[in-house]
Every structure is written in C-alpha cells, then in structure tokens.
Amino acid sequence: MKKTKEEKILTFLFILPSVILIAVFVYGFIGWTGWISLTNWKDVVPDFTFVGFRNYIDLFHNLRFQIGLKNILVFTVLFLVVSIAIGLFLAILLDRKVRFENVFRSIYLFPMAISFIVTGVVWRWMLNPGTATTGSLGINMLLDKIGLGFLKSGWYTDPNVGIKAVVIPAVWQMSGYVMAMYLAGIRGIPQELSEAAQVDGASNWQVYRYIILPLLQPITLGAVIILTHISLKIFDLVVAMTGAGIGFSCDVPALFMYDTTFRGNFFAQGAAIATILLIFVAILIIPYLRHGLREGS
C-alpha cells in the first residue's frame, strides 16, 4: 500500500531530529577531525595553518606509532584466531545437548556483562608476576601450587610477551559472545541435513566438516568483522591493564592518540591518528555492509 503525502511528511519529521543529530555529532565531528589533522595545531592555542599531509608523514616515521601498528596487528590476529576457535568449540559442545546447558551458557556469556575496564583491572592482578618481596601472585602463584612453575612468565611486564598478554583477557571476555553466535547458527541449520548425511555413512566429524562449518561461514564472517572492529579500537583494556608497557610493548594506536592529544596537546597529530584508525575500520566495515545490502536487496 502506497503512503500518502501526509504520511511521508510525518515519517520524515519523525526521523529528522535523529538525522540532524547524526549529521552534526557523528559526520560533522568526523569531518572536523579530518580537517584538524591537516593543520598545524600542536598547542593549547588553536593553529589552523594548513600543512597538508605533513602530520600523516610524520606519524609513519614515528617509532612509537610503528610499534603500535605492529602490536595491533599481532593482537588482532591472536584475538581473532583464539576467540573464534574457543567460541566454535564451546558452541559444538553445547549443541550436544549437555545437562545444565543454560547454566554453562550463562557462565560463558557472563564476561560480556563486564566492561573492558573492569576486565583489565582484574587481569592486571591475575597476570601480575609479583616481586622478590611479595613472591608470585595470581596465575603465577597458581602455577607454583600445581607444580607447573616452569610455565611462569612476566606476562605484560615482559617486553617479549607484551601485547600478547593483553590477548588473554580479551579472549576471555569475547569468546562467549562468539560461542553464542555460533550456537545460534548451528541451531538454525535444519537437522534433516545432518541426519541425511549420517544415513549415508558420514561420521560426526564429516558432518561438521562438510555440512555445518560451510553453512556457518556467514557467522564466521560476522564474528571476524565484530572482533576486528573491537581490536582496532582497543583502548580501555590496555589502559586499565598495562598502559604503554616497557618499550611500548603493549602500546596501541588508540592509546598513542590519547597521549598525543590530551597529554601532549598535539591536537593535529592526534586527529591524524584518529583519522587513520577510522580509515582502517571503514576498510573493514564498508565492504561488509555493501555485501549485506546486496544480499538483502
């Protein structure tokens, strides 16, 4: 049924406030940040002298920024692989109709109810290696108690581990979410497909390998997009847990942006970092959105 002219006008008036707010406070500030990144503003007093892409060129010659990019790449790869592997494994286990499934599902999803700040504070203590005075703490103490002291590590205080230690709490928090995505996907696959394959002599492994996992590809793609988006913008977990770390071993671009902008007052360079992060996220998100719109049309 076609809408009347009055209904179209009324619909437009209903969404107009949201359109104005998004235009100003989202796209307006994105544009403002992009403009600031092209200026010479590097003090409390604004300086809008146009310098082109000088701030971007300086950034890619900045050692801390280079380390941050390397760290975020390592973090993203480990975070994606481990979270998806654990999430898929837990989903397959729960799909076996285990007893107390609701209890286990709630336990796995519970970390999602906690902010990254709280997670960072808790895991900062759990991964604290301790000192000669205090002895081992947290996980290192547990390893000592069960006779696995040889596995002890300096965790985030060890530059050789650095950002890899931050992956542990990130996986702990997000693997349950991935599990829920996969479990919903598995439960949405018609059971007749699996039963038909088993009648033809397929083992459980072959059912998952050739039927269920291929049908879960859209879920996997969605999980990759969501987790990569989180990892590229990771800030609060790093701040609460490690800071930049020894030799910037735990540093990430978002933390560098915060220090540059709000501690160093280099607003133009901070805006350049923010713009680069936005471009990275857009490169990831826009093709996914276009793909979804194309399939939905």
How confident is the model at residue 261, as a pLDDT? Answer: 92
Mean pLDDT of 228-239: 91
How confident is the model at residue 197, as a pLDDT? Answer: 81
pLDDT for 173-229, tens place per residue? 999 999 999 998 988 888 888 878 878 777 878 888 888 888 898 899 889 999 998
pLDDT for 7-46, tens place per residue? 778 888 889 999 999 999 999 999 999 999 999 998 888 8
With b meaning 16 or more CB within 10 Å and e meaning fewer, what string describes 276-290?
A: bbeebeeeeeeebee
How confident is the model at residue 203, as a pLDDT? Answer: 81
CA 269 from chain centre, in angstroms, equals 24
How confident is the model at residue 152, as a pLDDT? Answer: 83
Mean of all residue pLDDT scores within the chain: 88
pLDDT for 44-80, tens place per residue? 888 899 999 999 999 999 999 999 999 999 999 999 9
How confident is the model at residue 3, as a pLDDT? Answer: 65
| Whether the Cβ atoms of residue 223 and residue 185 lie closer than 8 Å to each other | no
Three-state SS for the chain is CCCCHHHHHHHHHHHHHHHHHHHHHHHHHHHHHHHHCCECCCCCCCCCCECCCHHHHHHHCCHHHHHHHHHHHHHHHHHHHHHHHHHHHHHHHHCCCCCCHHHHHHHHHHHHHCCHHHHHHHHHHHCCCCECCCECCHHHHHHHHCCCHHHCCCHHHCCCCCHHHHHHHHHHHHHHHHHHHHHHHHHCCCHHHHHHHHHCCCCHHHHHHHHHHHHCHHHHHHHHHHHHHHHHCCCHHHHHHCCCCHHHCCCCHHHHHHHHHHHCCCHHHHHHHHHHHHHHHHHHHHHHHHHHHHHHC
pLDDT at 97 over 80: no
How confident is the model at residue 191, as a pLDDT? Answer: 82
How confident is the model at residue 149, as a pLDDT? Answer: 80
pLDDT at 1 over 60: no
pLDDT at 273 over 90: yes
Q: Please say whether the dihedral angle defined by the alpha carbons of residues 187, 189, 190 and 195, taken in this order, is positive or negative.
A: negative
Mean pLDDT of 266-283: 92
pLDDT for 119-159, tens place per residue? 999 999 898 887 656 667 788 888 888 888 878 888 888 88
pTM of the predicted structure, to 2 decimals: 0.87
- Out of 1.10.600.10, 3.40.50.10240, 1.10.3720.10, 3.30.479.10, the CATH code matching 18-296 is 1.10.3720.10
Residue with more model confidence, 100 or 162: 162
How confident is the model at residue 2, as a pLDDT? Answer: 60
How confident is the model at residue 154, as a pLDDT? Answer: 85
What is the CA angle 145-146-150, rounded to 5?
A: 90
How confident is the model at residue 36, as a pLDDT? Answer: 94
How confident is the model at residue 297, as a pLDDT? Answer: 56
Residue with more model confidence, 293 or 236: 236
